[in-house]
């Protein structure tokens, strides 16, 4: 009697389910990142319009951005706590709906204070995305695979920065800004339902067991020392993120005014931001690739040096040549965030990821929130070109922090 050998299954049902959960987690996180980052950067396109419509100074126009990003920064940690208690999918869906509602209300706004109220609401919703989305990806893709997954998640945010501002700029060419922004807001309300239904529900990760015998005392001491090194590294990373946020936020709020001062139309300035975000999206992948081959410190130092020089070049060059340079400047200005955001899981334990991401995003987004009115105020005092020079000098100040971060990462991973 012939006996046939059993065929090995391609994978167990548990493995197939795990793969589906990974894809769903990454898809939800990336989709939310596209929308939330796109909604946040729609404000850059609208700033010159709001300044002209409401007769605002540069500092007051920058403060409108701060209303949105300031609330977003303040509520990062409360959002992570709410996610731990009632579920990340629920909180993320509610936040996405609020972001969409913000622009729907802005589209129907009848005055300046109505716009302020809408931006406050949008900031509340936007606070949910970064800590929940980052932790969702890091949970689904454990170990070294999380770095690549976080890179894809980080790249998705720049897709939103390109897609939504470009859509707004195109719509403004054929209709007023109010209905254009209202239509874009409806997308978020619809997406909220999909996020609620598709977000996977993961079980909490088990806390590490403590040493219980004398034989493990040395191991416990080494673990405590490692924890101390990780904390030092995380503090260095936070400091780098703060200065990086100040420089990026400062330049973004100055760029539209710098270009309109060269004779660009408002919609043209909006497309210029899109060019920068296209470069930033490519930079998220390029800087990640570059850092794995040449090191994080060298990548940050090189990108910040080129960024500072690029800012000065955009200020000095004629409008046409400045446009050509913007995508390359975007590669350096935004691309380096892959190195900073991607370093968070290396400096905390798995159980601390959601809180660590919320802390990191709180301080970096807080810096982004402070930067627009601060740079706008500098622009009011010494002019837009002078403010660009100040931001470029501050950009170079991130290089010493990069060397400090590099030494702490080496010690933590030793």
Between CA 392 and CA 59 the distance in angstroms is 19
Biggest CA pair distance of the chain: 95
CA-closest candidate to residue 119, choices 181, 179, 57, 175: 181
Residue 363 has pLDDT above 50, yes or no: yes
- Mean pLDDT of the residues in the chain: 81
Confidence of residue 2 (pLDDT cuts 50, 70, 90): very low
* pLDDT tens by residue, 113-170: 888 999 999 999 999 998 899 888 878 876 556 667 777 888 888 788 888 988 998 8
**Tally of CB atoms within 10 A around 42:** 28
Secondary structure of residue 242 in the 3-state scheme: helix
**Tally of CB atoms within 10 A around 168:** 24
Residue 225 has pLDDT above 50, yes or no: no
CA-closest candidate to residue 250, choices 69, 82, 390: 390
For residues 398 and 92, the model is more confident at 92
pLDDT for residue 229? 55
Between CA 205 and CA 316 the distance in angstroms is 53
pLDDT for residue 15? 62
Element of type H or E holding 71: helix 58-74
* pLDDT tens by residue, 74-120: 898 899 889 888 888 899 999 999 999 999 998 777 778 888 999 99
Output the six-digit token pair for 70.
Answer: 């300031």
CA atoms within a 13 Å half-sphere pointing along the CA-CB vector of 254: 29
* pLDDT tens by residue, 249-273: 889 888 888 888 888 877 777 778 7
pLDDT for residue 123? 94
pLDDT for residue 369? 75
What does the domain layout of the chain look like in residue ranges? Answer: 20-201+227-412
Domain 20-201+227-412's class? mainly alpha
Between CA 132 and CA 193 the distance in angstroms is 17
Between CA 267 and CA 207 the distance in angstroms is 52
């Amino acid at each position: 009697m012939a006996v046939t050998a059993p065929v090995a299954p391609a994978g167990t049902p548990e493995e197939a389910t795990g793969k589906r959960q990974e894809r769903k987690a990454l898809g939800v996180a990336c989709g939310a990142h596209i929308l939330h980052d796109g909604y946040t950067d729609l404000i850059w396109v609208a700033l010159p319009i709001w300044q002209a419509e409401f007769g605002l100074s540069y500092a007051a126009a920058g403060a409108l951005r701060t209303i949105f990003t300031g609330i977003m920064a303040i509520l990062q940690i409360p959002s992570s706590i709410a996610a731990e208690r009632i579920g990340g999918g629920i909180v993320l869906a509610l936040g996405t709906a609020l972001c969409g509602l913000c622009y729907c209300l802005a589209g129907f706004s009848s005055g300046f204070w109505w716009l302020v109220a809408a931006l406050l609401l949008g900031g509340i919703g936007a606070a949910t995305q970064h800590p929940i989305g980052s932790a969702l990806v890091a949970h689904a893709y454990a170990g070294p695979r999380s770095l690549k997954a976080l890179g894809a998640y980080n790249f998705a945010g720049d897709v939103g920065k390109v897609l939504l501002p470009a859509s707004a700029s195109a719509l403004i060419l054929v209709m007023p800004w109010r209905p254009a922004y209202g239509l874009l807001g409806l997308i978020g309300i619809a997406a909220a339902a999909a996020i609620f239904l598709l977000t996977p529900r993961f079980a909490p990760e088990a806390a590490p067991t403590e040493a219980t015998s004398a034989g493990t005392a040395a191991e416990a001491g080494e673990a405590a020392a490692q924890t101390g090194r990780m904390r030092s590294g995380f503090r260095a990373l936070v400091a780098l993120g703060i200065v990086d946020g100040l420089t990026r936020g400062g330049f973004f709020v100055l760029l539209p005014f710098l270009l309109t001062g060269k004779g660009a139309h408002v919609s043209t300035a909006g497309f210029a931001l899109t060019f920068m975000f296209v470069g930033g999206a490519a930079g998220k992948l390029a800087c990640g690739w570059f850092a794995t081959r040449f090191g994080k410190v060298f990548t940050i130092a090189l990108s910040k040096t080129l960024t500072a020089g690029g800012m000065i070049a955009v200020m000095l060059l004629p409008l046409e040549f400045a446009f050509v340079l913007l995508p390359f400047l975007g590669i350096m200005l935004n691309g380096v965030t892959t190195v900073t955001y991607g370093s968070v899981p290396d400096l905390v334990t798995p159980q601390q990821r959601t809180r660590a991401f919320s802390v990191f995003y709180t301080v970096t987004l807080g810096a982004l929130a402070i930067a627009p009115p601060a740079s706008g105020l500098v622009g009011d005092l010494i002019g837009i070109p002078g403010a660009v020079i100040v931001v470029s000098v501050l950009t170079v100040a991130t290089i010493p922090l990069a060397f400090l971060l590099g030494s702490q990462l080496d010690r933590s991973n030793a």
